[in-house]
Amino acid sequence: MNKKLIKIEKKWFEQWFDSPYYHLLYKNRDEVEAEKFIKNLIAFLQPPSGSIMLDVACGKGRHSIYLNKLGYNVDGFDLAENSIIVAKKQEAKNLKFYVNDIRKPLKINHYNYAFNLFTSFGYFEDETDNLLAIYAISESLKTDGILVLDFMNVTKVVNNLQEKETKIINDNTFLIKRSFFNNFIIKDIVINDKGITHHFQEKVKAITLADFRTYFNAANLKIEAIFGNYNLTSFDEKISDRLIVIAKKQ
């Protein structure tokens, strides 16, 4: 009997986030920036000692690691196996990392706080998947648990879209083309690495504050605060760099 080999095409985020070029392009997102943001969040949230925290789509774990250094119990997860391999090198008694899909709760009714940072959301074509992701985070939280979701301010991004950009990083040339189509912000990335060309894409849904209100209401999450940057100043749809939403599980 002849067996046909079925090739399963990976989604863009499975390819791009597991690539070393992703981390090279965004290497400016360093530990100093991560620590400053976390310090501001902790000062606002004032989590009790012993709080259990979840870092959703944690990448290599920079936010998780710093939260743990502040004395909190932290789990982090990401779909990118290579990122988790790196993060696991920093594991400790109260710091663990896992490979997991954002649409599935890592642990149910377990965490006091959940963080989804650096636009680690909105990657799915099907709107149902975005809702599943919010449901999963909500299921992970205990009653009165807090979700902090840090997303781009899509209004500002779309209004100021830089269509073409070239970056040279460590002798790699990144040619970046941006577009807005069918309510997705799309970034096509072509990399020339010593004459070898690689192509990746980022495709993030243009989710507004109104959209997040709908998601959160459906997942039994009540918005408590909204900020517009990592200094936690007020959100202004026209000028803010970020959309940072803090919600409580009812």
Domain match, 240 and 192 both: no
- Is 173 inside any structural domain? yes
Domain residues for the domain of 48 are 12-152+207-249
Per-residue pLDDT at 227 exceeds 60: yes
Domain match, 43 and 87 both: yes
pLDDT (0 to 100) of residue 4 = 53
The candidate with the shortest Cα–Cα distance to 215, out of 98, 124, 113, 112, is 124
Domain match, 66 and 26 both: yes
CATH label of the domain that carries residue 101: 3.40.50.150
CA 173 to chain centre: 25
Which pTM does this prediction carry?
Answer: 0.91
pLDDT (0 to 100) of residue 2 = 52
Domain match, 30 and 107 both: yes
Confidence of residue 27 (pLDDT cuts 50, 70, 90): confident
Domain match, 196 and 214 both: no
Domain match, 165 and 51 both: no
Number of domains in the chain: 2
- Is 4 inside any structural domain? no
- pLDDT tens-place string over residues 107-149: 999 999 999 999 999 999 999 999 999 999 999 999 999 999 9
- Is 7 inside any structural domain? no
- pLDDT tens-place string over residues 149-185: 999 999 999 999 999 999 999 999 999 999 999 999 9
Strands (E), 35-104: 52-56, 73-78, 95-99
d(CA 116, CA 5): 37
Per-residue pLDDT at 39 exceeds 50: yes
